[in-house]
Chains A and B, each alone.
Chain A
Amino acid sequence: MTEVPPWTVTAARRRLASGDLSAVELTQLMLDRMQDTEPLVHAYAYIASELALEAARLADRRRAAGQDLPLLGIPLAVKDNMETFDAPTEVGSRVMRGYQPSRDATVVERIRAAGAVILGKTVTHEFAYGLDTPPTRNPWRLDCFPGASSAGSAVAVAAGSALAALGTDTAGSVRTPAALNGVTGLKPTYGRVSRAGVFPASPSLDHVGFLTRSVEDCAVLLEVTAGTDPRDPSCLADVLADLDPDRVPDLRGVRVAMERSYFFDYAEVQPGVREAADTAIAQLAELGAEVIEISIPELDLMSAVGSIINLADNSAWHRRLMRDRRSDYDPATRRMLTLGAMIPATAYANAHKARRVLAQAVRQAFEAHRLDALVGPTVPGVAHSLLTTLPLVPTPRLSPLVHHNYPGNLTGLPVLSIPCGFADGLPVGLAIMGRPLAERQIMRIGRAFQRSTDWHNRRPPLQGKSGMTE
């Protein structure tokens, strides 16, 4: 068995538990790594060095006193659209400059209660919505797009300056940066994880998710954070199934499908991405999964429905701030918010009706074909160069990216993105979408793939001050 690399949460938990490593040593290692990598990748909006070391010292004392918590001493990063009582929450915007919340978002409370050490707040696009380009860069190629909007979280994990990170996903904002940075990303079922204390974008599309180095690590974070929350009435009361997939080492009895016309066979899908995804799916078949091709024509409406709901919801939330702080918004965000304010109410109402039709079509496909998952490339291309100036375009044209990701947000189904190869030297992600509340099953698929491949163990060739290379 391949030795578990030292950068996963799971491996670090073992080393901390055995006494090989202290929380202070591990946290200092992350902070040292940050010093090397931040000048290159700019993953963090705020680094909480002293608070992190203090939390690490507390974790060591607690472990010495016999306490054991799921994330005791584990250094994590938090996307800067989640409130933290001890660090600013500026959401990538001048509008929120200096904002210091009085309490944590529920998801942050839960990881703290589990013993996590919070390293800092990661960069996000303005309000996790804007089309501006933050300074964050892809560690695989520093002139390349890091994805959005959980870019900082994905890059911190990819660059090794956090063992895992929290993110949010409204139209792919966990999965897209996961795929483009070669890390694992999970968007759980809608309502699994509380959104209380997280700046909203589009409330019925928003999900809290995770960026990690492995499927196992996603399972750890989901177990710690899932569950009802009186602060968020949309949270599901459904109990999380045991996520330990190790009991079932292969994929015999698993049935997955590809919807080629929507996810594979259109112009924007790069040949290298298609090839990597096809190869990965062939690997799933080697592991025992039954793979079929199906057609869900209703998917063609996903981007239209998603864009109407997303645009209108965001504009509604920002209405007062746009009235009072208009000039503090980035022009790209301001334009999107103005556009959303001009969407007819009838279009919004019909979009929510159409959404039910789409969700039902996906359900019918899963049931008729007895599927465990729908699989395909997470996004149609690899990270593009930022040296090429892209014109600002309104959604959905922006998005070959959201084209792949809106189905997961509109249906609320859980989606896992795992590294599955490279194209032109840049990472490619495979998305695995499951039935409602079936995180266990999609993690079983992802875990089996990661046992038999090493794409998720690859490191970007960053050369930092300490000379650390991977």
Chain B
Amino acid sequence: MKVTLSILRYDPEKDVKPVRKDYTIEAEPTDRILDCLDKVKWQYDGSLAYRRSCSHGICGSDAMMINGKNQLACQILVQDFKKKYIKIDPLPGLPIIKDLIVDMTGFFQKYDIVKPYLIPKDLPPPKERLQSQEERALIDEAVNCILCGACTASCPSLWTNENYIGPAALLKAYRFIYDSRDGADNERLDIIDTQDGLWRCHTIFNCVEVCPKEINITWHLSQLKKKCALREF
């Protein structure tokens, strides 16, 4: 079948601002949008730039805005769209470098801020630290984050305030604060219990709607909010 991709193109070496261009290709219903982008790149315009790697939703490279929703191009198929005119834009709220490639530097700087690594409570035993299945279950969803940026780039709070840490970094903070092996709750809460941290989340749920790993990010952030509210200084 014929599918038209309407892609927001931007070449910093030539264009003053992004322009939309349409490309009609022949595709199978089961083709991924990523396959369609490849067809455009390989058959029409080799200069089309986008990130990709694993092509099945685990590496997090190819988050982009497809028909107005942030999603992974490799995780959505042609048959998932009724109209075969599909609009493709880079992730919103992040600076465009070229075509569908955005600058993720700020996104990862915010990740770094929350001390995104285990700070253990105690010295390790000779074997593994014990963790009950119930304790492990608390971080079950949070550890699935692939850092694709779809959530953070969908958040109106971030669009209006670029200093907001954003849902992905906050979820990472949750992942360690709720890990029974970690002992740095207070250190991390100090970092996120701020205006530009947790409290800029206004439970809009955009992040939950777009997360390709179906993580209920807002719920996790609400647990952190509770923890902050109940914290004793």
**Same complex:** no
Interface residue ranges, A against B (CB under 8 Å): none
